[in-house]
A and B are shown apart, each in its own frame.
Chain A
Amino acid sequence: MRIIISGKDFTIDVPLSSGGEGEIYAIDHLSVAKIYHKQVINRERRLKVLALCNSYQNSISNLGDDSFAFPQQPAYENKEILDFLCGFSMQYFKNCPTLGDIGFNLQASNYKYGKMDDNRAVEFIYNTFDVIDRLHKSRIILGDVNPSNVLYNEKLNYPIIIDLDSAQIGQFRCLSWSDEYLDPLTQLQGKNLQGGYNYTYESDIFSIACVCFEFIIGINPFFCRTDPSNDVIFNKENGISVLRYIHSSTNNINGIKYLSNPVNDNIKKRITSIKTAFPKLYNFFVSIFLDSKRTSLMQTLSRNDPRHPAYIFFSQSGFDQVLKQIITSRKAVATPQVTQITHKVIGSFSIPDSGFSKIITSVSQTSATYATTVSQSAFIDPDQLNIFLRNYGIDLSSIIGVN
C-alpha cells in the first residue's frame, strides 16, 4: 500500500501490529503510521485526525511526548485530500512492550518481564494514574482503555498511552470500547445515539484501575471460578469481583459460590500478599471494585507527597501556612480549656457557677466527646475562609482530620 505523509511517499507492507481499529506500520526509525481498517474510517474520524494533528504541538508542549503518542501528521492514500485520509503518523516507541507483555503471571508466579518486581510495579501504577490525571487536566478522556493501548517505558518506569486518536476530546467522541474494562456505570447509562458510550473522567479511573489490577495481580478483577460459572463481563455488570469474596471473607454472593480450587487459591494468595505489602493500593482497589468509588489513586496519597495532585497548590500558594495557623488556633482555643478544667477538677472542689459544672459532668461521662464538642463550639472559621474553601471544593475536615 502506498501512503502519503507530509508530501512524502511511503510504501507499507507488513504491519507491526493489528488492532480493532487499524494496523500499525513502521515508517522510519522515529515514526509509525496507524492506518485504519476501511470499515471504521468515516468523515468524523477523518476530521478528528486532522484536528488532533493540528493540535499536536500544543498537546506535546502541555503534556510532553514521553508518555503520549499523539497523532502527528495525517496519512493519505493516493491523494492528499480529506476523503483519502486513511490514518496518521505518530512517534515510534520502539521496544516498548504492552502491559500484557510484562504483567504478573499467576501461573508462573512471577512477572512476564524479568526486570519487574512488586515495588517497581506499584510505582508504575502510581505513575500511570499520574499520567491519566495529567490527561484529564487537559480535558482528554481516554474512553477505551485496555492493556494493549498502554505501553511500558522501562527507562522511566512510566506508561506510554497510545491510541490517543480514539480518545474523547471536545466534540470528538470515542468510538470504541473494551468490554472487559468498560465501567459498568457507563454501561448502565446505555449507548448514545451514535452507538457509542459517553465516557467520563470517572470511567477512565475505573478502566485504568482494572488494567492496573490485572497488571499486578495477574487477573481481571472480575475473573474467578464460581458455581455457577460466569464470565468477566457478567461479573462486572453484577458487581461480583474476586475482591468482594476475599475482602468480605465470604464464599457466597447472591448464590454464586466461590470455589476452592488451585486457581482460586492462587488468586487469593496473590491478593493477600499485595494487601500485606501495599495496603494503600489494596484499599484503593477495594474502593473501586467494592465501594463503586471513582477517586484517582493520586488523591489517596498524603497531601505532603509531591505526587499528590494538590501538592503544588498547597505548598506554593501559601495555603499550607493558612492551614497551619487554623490548626494552631483551634488547638489554642480547645486544648487549654480542657487542661484547665481538668486541673480545676483535680485541684479544687470550689467551682464558680459559670456553666463549668455541666461541662465537668459531661467530661466525667465521656471526655473524648467533650473535647470535640468544645473544639467545635469554641472556634468558628471566618466566613471568608468558608467561602474560599467552598469555591475551591476543599474539604477542610478531611485535610486536618477534624470533624
Chain B
Amino acid sequence: MSSVNISTATKSLVKDGTLSQTAANSLTNQSRNVQVADVSMLYDDPVFSCFLIDESGSMHPYKQNVIDGQSEMIQMLRKSHKCKKGALFVVQYLFADSVKVLHPFTTLSANGSDNVIVMNKGNHYNPDGYTALYKSLFYLLQDMAANIANAQNNNVKSTFTIGVITDGEDNQGGIQPDEIKNIIQELQSKGIIRSSVIIGLTNSQFSSSMLNDLKNRLGFQEAISLSQDAKEIRRAFVLASQSAVSSQAQNS
C-alpha cells in the first residue's frame, strides 16, 4: 500500500480547484503520511465509505450490540452492487480518548476475502474513556484528502460517504468544529462527499435537539435519532450501511 503526504495532497487539490487554500491550510496543520487505497485497476468510480463508531465508556452496556450491528453492516455492504464491482472501499475508526483506525481504506470484497475488520471476529471493541469526536473527524478528513488526490492522479473521480454512530457530544476538543464544517461543506458542494449522516443514540444526556445541533455544527447533511437499546443500535448500523451504498434516492 503506498502512502501520500497530507501537504503534498492538499497542494495538488488546491491546484486543481478541488480544495480552497483555507481548507488546505486547516488540513496541513498536523501533516502526516496517509496510506492510500490502490485505485489503479478499477473499472468503476470508487466510493469510499467511512464509518466512525463511538467507543467511549458510555457505550459499554451496548458493547455486544455494537459488535453484532457492525458485523451485520459489513455483510450488507458486501451485497451492494458497488462492492460486486470491486469499487467499494471501507475505512473504520473507533473513537474514545483518541482515534483508533481499525483499518485504512480497504477494498471490500463481495466474498469476504479482504482485510476489512469485522468486530465479531477478534477483540476489537472495548468501550472506555471520553468522546474525541472532533479530532476523529479531522483525522478522517485528512485521510480523505490524501485519497482524493491519489484517485485524481489515477484519473478516476472518487466520492465519499461518512457515517458516525455516537451516543454523545465531543468532550475532548482539540479541533474547532467550524474547521470541520468548512471542509465538509466544501467537499459536499463539489459532490465529493455524497452523504454524511450522524446516527445519534439519544439518552438523557444527549437529546434529539442536541444531536441536531451537532449535525449543524459539523455541517452534516442528516441526523437520525435512535434510542439506546439493542434493536435500535443494530438499526443504526443498518442505516449507516444504507447511507454508504444507496446510489438511488427516494422521495418519501
**Chain A residues in the interface with B (C-beta under 8 A):** 14, 17-21, 23, 37, 39-42, 98, 100-101, 106-107, 112, 144, 146-148, 175-180, 194-196, 218-220, 223, 225-232, 234, 259, 261-263, 267
Contacts and interface: CB of A to CB of B under 8 A. Distances in A.
Contacts of B169: none
A194 B248 contact: no
A147 B81 CA distance: 7
B14 interface: no
A181 B91 CA distance: 27
Contacts of A226: 155
Interface stretch (B36-44, B92-100, B178-186): B36-44
Contact of B248 (A41, A100, A112, A144): A144
B117 interface: no
B41 A263 contact: yes
A219 B81 contact: no
Given A223-B45, A229-B155, A178 B251 contact: no
Contacts of B64: none
Closest 9 CB pairs of A and B: A231-B157, A195-B251, A100-B84, A20-B246, A225-B155, A229-B155, A20-B248, A178-B248, A100-B81
B45 A194 contact: no
Contacts of B40: 263
B152 interface: yes
Mostly helix, strand, loop or mixed at chain B's interface? loop
Greatest chain A CB density within 10 A among B16, B84, B85, B248 is at B248
Contacts of B110: 101
19 contacts: A17-B76, A18-B76, A20-B242, A40-B250, A40-B252, A100-B81, A100-B84, A107-B86, A144-B248, A146-B247, A175-B251, A176-B251, A177-B248, A180-B247, A194-B251, A196-B251, A223-B44, A229-B151, A232-B45
Nearest to A178: B248
A226 B157 CA distance: 10
Contacts, number: 95
A234 B246 CA distance: 18
Mostly helix, strand, loop or mixed at chain A's interface? loop
Interface residues of B, number: 33
Interface string B232-247: 0000001001100011
Nearest to A232: B45
A262 B41 contact: yes
B101 interface: no
Interface of B: 16, 40-45, 72, 76, 79-81, 84-86, 110, 151-152, 154-157, 159, 238, 241-242, 246-252
Contacts of B152: 229
Contact of A230 (B44, B72, B157): B157
Contacts of B81: 98, 100, 146-148
B107 to A, nearest CB: 11
Given A175-B250, A229-B156, 16 more contacts: A18-B238, A20-B247, A100-B81, A107-B41, A146-B81, A146-B248, A176-B251, A177-B248, A180-B247, A219-B43, A219-B44, A220-B44, A227-B155, A231-B45, A231-B159, A259-B155
A191 to B, nearest CB: 8
Contacts of B242: 18, 20, 37
Contacts of A195: 251
Nearest to A97: B84
Given A40-B252, A41-B252, A231-B157, A106 B247 contact: no
Contact of A106 (B43, B155, B250, B252): B43
A107 B43 contact: yes
A39 B249 CA distance: 12
A19 B247 CA distance: 10
B44 A261 contact: no
Contacts of B154: 225
A314 B43 CA distance: 44
A14 B71 CA distance: 12
A21 B249 CA distance: 9
Nearest to A220: B44
Given A18-B76, A229-B157, A177 B86 contact: no
A65 to B, nearest CB: 25
A21 B250 contact: yes
